[in-house]
Amino acid sequence: MKVVIDAAVCDGKGYCKRFAPEVFALDEWGYGEVLVDEVPPEYEANARAALEACPLQAIKAV
């Protein structure tokens, strides 16, 4: 599983990092960024929770 953040949509609410800190971080401006190329299987559930929690649907699984 891979995840991407649409930078044009993200407004930096930070839910992604809260739900899956192993997969997402916030950059120096407070916008979400993806830390890993491939989400390790043990973190997929957290990554999906983050995807569903993002209020702007800025996160996509690819």
Q: How far is the CB of 41 from ligand SF4 (least distance, A)?
A: 22
DSSP 40: -
- State the Cα–Cα distance between residues 60 and 54, nearest whole angstrom: 10
Task: State which of positions 2-61 bind ligand SF4 (CB under 6 A).
Answer: 5, 10-16, 31-32, 54, 56, 58-59
- State the Cα–Cα distance between residues 35 and 60, nearest whole angstrom: 14
Which CB, 30 or 40, lies closer to ligand SF4? 30
Residues that bind ligand SF4 (CB under 6 A): 5, 10-16, 31-32, 54, 56, 58-59
